[in-house]
Chains A and B, each alone.
Chain A
Amino acid sequence: SAPPCGCFILQRWVPLIVLLCVSARAVDRSNFKTCEQSAFCKRQRELKPGRSPYRALLDTLELSDSRITLQLINDNNKVRLLLELYRLQGNMTRVKINELKPLKPRYEVPDVLISDPITETLSVVSQDENSLVLSLGGKDQRLIVSAQPFRLDIVEGPQVLVSLNSRGLLAFEHLRARKDTKSELEQATEQENVEQRTDEDGQIKEEEDKPGMWEETFKSHTDSKPNGPSSISLDFSLPGVEHVYGIPEHADTLKLKNTDGSDPYRLYNLDVFQYELHNPMALYGAVPVLISHSTDRTMGIFWLNAAETWVDISSNTAGKVRVISSEAPQTDVRWISESGIIDVFIMLGPKPADVFTQYASLTGTQSFPPLTALAYHQCRWNYNDQEDVKSVDQGFDEHDIPYDFIWLDIEHADGKRYFTWDPSKFPQPKEMLQGLMDKRRKLVAIVDPHIRVDNGYKIHNEILSKNFYVKNKDGGDYEGWCWPGNSGYPDFTNPEMRAWWASKFAYEQYEGSMENQYVWNDMNEPSVFNGPEVTMHKDALHGGWEHRDVHNLYGLYVQKATADGLVERSGGVERPFVLTRAFFAGSQRYGAVWTGDNAAEWGHLKISIPMCLSLGLAGISFCGADVGGFFKHPSAELLVRWYQAGAYQPFFRAHAHIDTPRREPWLFGPENTALIREAIRQRYALLPYWYQLFYNAHRTGYPVVRPLWVEYPNDVATFSIEDEYLIGKDLLVHPVTDEGATAVTAYLPGKGEVWYDVHTFQKHDGEQSLYIPVTMSSIPVFQRGGSIICRKDRVRRSSSCMENDPYTLYAALNSQGSAEGELYIDDFHTFNFEKAKQFVHRHLSFSANTLSSRNLAPDSQFSTASWIEKIVIIGGSQPSSATLKNADDTESALEFEFDSTLAVLTLRKPGVNAAADWTVILR
């Protein structure tokens, strides 16, 4: 839900306090810092490329099996740093830089890496007085350490893959003692002494203070900065690279833009009211992962730091029509963070899939959601009461529209006390949940991390008594304003607090909850209406650490603790489903994210594609945007187009602001109702494919939806495409996102490949731009020739109702007349697939006129009632006979139909169980 306009409205809380909004139109940029207004960013950005003051002290080299360490010295101030280099399994290099002797420990991000990365031996190949060459194994990959000025280069043969500090932007603000308590005179004298001393004996020289080092004020908020300056920065040069992606979350293009002359991309989880499109402002979540891509190589840089971070991108080809032949393209990336250490993982690819594997090996893969979570979700701020929930539920049945989840926003709770129900609106929550369960449907109720300060509220009292709240700089409980009014913020970085939080989801703890109730964590940036930039004060304290250090991690912890709670309440049996608005690297392990409070505008519909693609590249596949747009009232056309687009995005939920008119799918006339019904039905029919892709994402870390270049890495025409994308590798979607559109132009990639329109089976050649006339019912979707996709064409009221239904196989043949695909089946909601290997995973292949189903997981076991009801072979030829051969070698003839104009062969009712071995032979 929305923060009210960078200020807040507490309508129900205190009726007389009315807060008012600046403008309903768009973000009030003045509420959020520019780089110029963020003291460390300003300081760092003033540093221009040049000769680095850092020097590697090669004689301090220490070599062990797992790592190499070296000291670096800043020749300007003599501060020493410790450089650690690791060669990690799976073609990655980790570079860590910290102060050799920091005044106090600097924050190192915990809980994001799934485990200590496995190291491989890093051996010295050669060494001279100014350099050290280390072998990274593989194809003559080397890591070269240059001593003066300090720089790192990773090379493969003669080719430089990436250079660190080649532009001299390594900057490490060392921790220093606070001086401002001393008198000015003393300070001045000391300053002189220091300088003299430095010249004489080379001891640590103290630099002059710059504005904002010891205190910083933004609007009316002052950051006390007790630890002073602590920021870090490092530059990376990527020769041969023109395209970089990732570092979500920004409402911007898929391909990252050059930030010369504008603000850098900002990563700082913020609750931005009515965000604007196409700018580098920070949004709700942050994943500090950047992916570079060229026809030669795909690589990734993972900057493991949870503090406020800015990323500058500079490309020598940006804005130029053509690269001057003498100048090779190059992209320079610079990371700046406010605190912590430099801890960076360089993922060396070389293919897109390798980078995904590498990143997944560090931070884990997408959690495998219960099937139902992939179905359609109906949300609104707010469904008013039980009666309302019931009538919306009935509305779906009356209009024969499938849906799985209905959602309750903040108004459901008693006075915004999460884990409770409003006694007048939701007096019998279990009755309501049972009603939904009878329809095999589910409910999500919101649980936000701000806790109403109210001594009549059990949750608050417990947190208070356990001392679990985040503290303010003076040591008292931090309090801020959010939906309930004055609120406390539990310290989710504390594992004990998280365990306690998780326990609150137990059925006996969370009164009125049932097993078909799931959870949504909103406002977990955290949103603090009266805090700086609508978030928590950076000098607030999480145990020994400042909020400054952990900020971007807070939202991840909230979702983790909630997901843990859902697992625990089921005794470890059920897969959880938790939606979050704030996220960080690793959040993919805990559930779904959405793109926050968007608006009912065509531009917001369009941007939902690159926003979710960027998240997918950074590991978070389960992404969606509010269908219809959160703020404002969509036209019927926009709403229909959004449903059509949303039906083909991973997380498919309609949502609306409380002040907008109702917009359940049947409120826009029968024609639009029919169009929306059809879009949702297409989603349900494709659920087996989505489910299989999520299973694979869970196993491998490959994104579920992918930019075209991921599958066609050599086709430069695909590198900037963001108005279409692939689901898995077999479906290409080009949603209609323009008002009044009569046609779209879709690029179909792949030389020598063919694509089939999934609605008409019409065949098109690859590597062409296809002009497609569209009507209001059109959702341009193409199946790749060479693929087999399994669908459930019997669409019912919810995905659970379809669990035992039969499959139809759509085999789209490539130009060689073959195709392959997968089918994955399990119980759709428990961990038994993992714990007890209870699943079916089949490989389906068609070649030489034989279609067969082979077991991909012979050691797994699962029995399903589902069977194969139909096989559609697209782009096939007419056989004279079709024979089904069962596992026991019994044979039977299959009836078939052949449409010669479209070359579509339909085999009637093979009837075999979906888990069985079988073969169909065409003659």
Chain B
Amino acid sequence: MTCLHLLLTLVFAVSLGTPVEIQRPRGVPLTKKPFYEENKPFTCLDGSRTIPFDRVNDDYCDCKDGSDEPGTAACPNGSFHCTNAGYRPMFIPSSRINDGICDCCDTTDEYNSGAKCENTCKELGLKERDVLQKMAEITKEGFLLKQQLIEEAKKGREEKQGKVTDMQENKKQLEEKVEALRTVKETAEQPEKEAKERHLKAWEEQKAAIRLEKDKAKMAEAFLELDDNADGFVSVSELQSHAELDPDADGTLTETEVQGLMGGAAQVDTSTFESVWTNIKDKYHSESQPEEPAPVETPPEEVKEPVVDNDSEPFPEDDISEEEDEDEDDEDDYHEDDDKVLPTVKTPEKSHEDGEAMLPYDPDTQTLIDAAQKARDDFEDSEKALREMDDQIRNIEKELSFDFGPDAEFTYLYSQCYELTTSEYIYRLCPFNRVSQKPKYGGSETNLGTWGSWSGPENNKYLVMKYEHGTGCWQGPNRSTTVKLTCGKETVVTSTSEPSRCEYLMEFTTPAVCQEPANMDLLPHGHEEL
């Protein structure tokens, strides 16, 4: 038989230098010792059955709850208690007893496996105390810093609120100023408008007169051209030679159509030709200039923008693989230069028809225009100032609206950025704004998420920040970042990782999460149960 195990074990606990021996079955915590009375039948702790005491820790599972085998691996659901004197006691699943792996620092879990375990409890205890002490110091200092942060935040908040109040007042004045200037502007614009209209009208009239004269000259010219036989009359047949005049554009200019154009007359003289000219002038092709250029009314061809648009730039497939014929974009790497400003090509202001520039304004009109322009400029300046003021107010209000923690202790992080450089990337955390990643050796920045929300555990949501909706991933989600906050004297990003594709994790220390230090006396002494 392989399984003769020590029923009882001597537990040595070192407490204040005084050794204490307490006998109880292996793996039983002191608190449960009373249930395991030597030489009395043992009742499973769930009360399901009673067995002779020699079946406790006999390496066979009798109790459904595993309570008869606290010191062996026989029960699937049992647990083993190690005292770990010098460190902290713990329970391990029964399956870890004698599995060849040292779990308890006091080595008691490996009593029959051949595993060579060393008692490391003292060392661990010291280390833990050391760590706790350091932590406590950090917490203490951090907490002091936090108080300052709270103070500063409070002050800052008050200042900002005061500022907003002042600005609101200024804003009111500005608004009034804007209104006043608007009136001035409108007052100045009225005479300007009238003068301009006058000027324009005069110009139009002048232009019409010129046009009429030109038309008349053209008409006379046309008459002479049409009057083939120079008899002083234009006849139906003479007109019919101009096929372009065909009203229904069916390719033939019939006599009837010509008569229609001539108002029923068989021939017209120079004076009656005027009405005929009205009918034909739009289509008439001069015989002397058969290829008259297109009328000026036809808009000039749109000026083409130079092709700099990267969407239309063919992907340089040849560089990669002959297999690629149905590529899709990977937005990550593809549109890096979207922000590049396209050179705006101004369509030159169209000159007036016939290429004739309008006459300059007369001095009176020009004076009115100058006055109006000044009023406009003044008005626009004041309006701009108002908008800027609005922006400022809005920014401060936005800042004031952030949840900077129960005591506004996170306020100082606002509009700051913290960087961490790894072997490949520079990570940048701008709290309440965004997280980004930039390759160390050139390349564009990737957005790892913009500020989402506090998302720590229910009891303290201010331990975790969540940044969401970053740049999308191929076949995956948008990038997002979880920032875990721990207490520290410094405000610094301590690590970043990407546990899952496109889901980043950042560790960030800040005094703002330091809790009021616990009493140092509460530190464990390694054997609370004694």
Contacts and interface: CB of A to CB of B under 8 A. Distances in A.
A909 B58 CA distance: 10
A219 B333 contact: no
Interface stretch (A3-11, A67-75, A725-733): A3-11
A796 B320 contact: no
B60 A19 contact: no
Interface in B146-181: none
Interface string A797-814: 100111011100000000
Interface in B477-502: 477, 497-502
A506 B327 CA distance: 43
Contacts of B74: 794, 869
Interface in A15-30: 15-22, 24
Contacts of B96: 796-797
Contact of A19 (B99, B324, B503): B324
A21 B323 contact: no
A18 B101 contact: no
Interface string A779-808: 000000000000001111100111011100
Contacts of B194: none
A384 interface: yes
A801 B101 contact: yes
Nearest to B330: A18
A834 interface: no
Given A660-B501, A908-B60, A796 B473 contact: no
Contacts of A6: 323
Interface of A: 6-9, 15-22, 24, 31, 219-221, 384-385, 387-388, 400, 424, 438-440, 481, 529-530, 658-662, 793-797, 800-802, 804-806, 865, 867, 869-870, 908-909, 911, 913
A886 B443 CA distance: 77
B521 interface: no
A797 B475 contact: no
24 contacts: A9-B474, A15-B333, A15-B439, A18-B332, A18-B333, A18-B334, A19-B327, A20-B327, A20-B330, A22-B328, A388-B497, A388-B499, A400-B95, A424-B423, A439-B101, A529-B321, A530-B321, A659-B475, A660-B501, A661-B477, A662-B499, A662-B503, A797-B99, A801-B99
A909 B476 contact: no
B475 A909 contact: no
A31 B321 CA distance: 13
Contacts of A17: 319-320
Interface of B: 1-3, 58-60, 73-74, 76, 93, 95-96, 99-101, 113, 319-324, 326-330, 332-334, 422-424, 439, 443, 473-477, 497-503
Contacts of B93: 400
Nearest to B99: A801
Contacts, number: 119
B322 A220 contact: yes
Contacts of A18: 330, 332-334
A368 B101 CA distance: 27
Nearest to B503: A661
A19 B320 contact: yes
Contact of A867 (B3, B101, B439, B500): B3
The DSSP consensus for interface residues of chain B is loop
B2 A865 contact: yes
A867 B59 CA distance: 11
A243 B32 CA distance: 65
A804 B98 CA distance: 10
3 residue pairs, one from A and one from B, having the closest CB atoms: A801-B99, A20-B327, A220-B322
Contacts of A24: 475
Contact of A658 (B322, B439, B477, B501): B501
Contacts of A221: 322
Contacts of B323: 6-7, 31, 219-220, 529-530
A908 B52 CA distance: 14
A867 to B, nearest CB: 5
Contacts of B1: 867, 911
Contacts of A424: 422-424
Nearest to B474: A659
Given A15-B439, A797-B96, A805-B73, A661 B500 contact: yes
A40 to B, nearest CB: 23
Given A19-B327, A801-B99, A796 B333 contact: no
A20 B60 contact: no
Nearest to B501: A659
A762 B3 CA distance: 33
A801 B332 CA distance: 47
Contacts of A22: 326-328
A802 B473 CA distance: 43
A481 B319 CA distance: 13
Given A7-B323, A870-B60, 6 more contacts: A15-B443, A440-B99, A440-B100, A530-B321, A661-B501, A796-B96
Contacts of A913: 2
Identify the interface centre among B96, B324, B473: most chain A CB within 10 Å of its CB.
Answer: B324
A104 B332 CA distance: 54
Given A20-B329, A24-B475, A793 B76 contact: yes
Contacts of A908: 60
Contacts of A911: 1-3
Contact of A7 (B324, B329, B474, B498): B324
A4 to B, nearest CB: 9
Contact of B76 (A7, A388, A794, A870): A794
Contacts of A438: 101
A796 B497 CA distance: 31
A801 B100 contact: yes
A9 B328 CA distance: 12
Contacts of A481: 321
B164 to A, nearest CB: 43
Nearest to B102: A438
A530 B323 CA distance: 7
Contacts of B443: 15
Identify the interface centre among A530, A659, A793: most chain B CB within 10 Å of its CB.
Answer: A659
A219 B325 CA distance: 10
A636 to B, nearest CB: 16
Contacts of B113: 804
A909 B60 contact: yes
A15 B101 CA distance: 45
A529 B328 CA distance: 17
Contacts of B422: 424
A14 to B, nearest CB: 10
Contacts of A865: 2
Contacts of B439: 15
Contacts of A796: 73, 95-96, 99
B322 to A, nearest CB: 4
A862 to B, nearest CB: 15
Given A22-B328, A865-B2, A797 B101 contact: yes
Contacts of A797: 95-96, 99, 101
Contacts of B101: 438-440, 797, 801
Nearest to B424: A424
A709 to B, nearest CB: 37
Nearest to A9: B474
Given A21-B328, A659-B473, A869-B60, A16 B333 contact: yes
B117 to A, nearest CB: 11
A556 B234 CA distance: 102
A220 B325 CA distance: 11
Identify the interface centre among A6, A15, A529: most chain B CB within 10 Å of its CB.
Answer: A15
A9 B323 CA distance: 13
A793 B59 CA distance: 13
A324 B333 CA distance: 64
Contacts of B476: 659-660
A444 B328 CA distance: 35
A353 B126 CA distance: 65
A530 B95 CA distance: 51
B321 A7 contact: yes
Contacts of B424: 424
A777 to B, nearest CB: 16
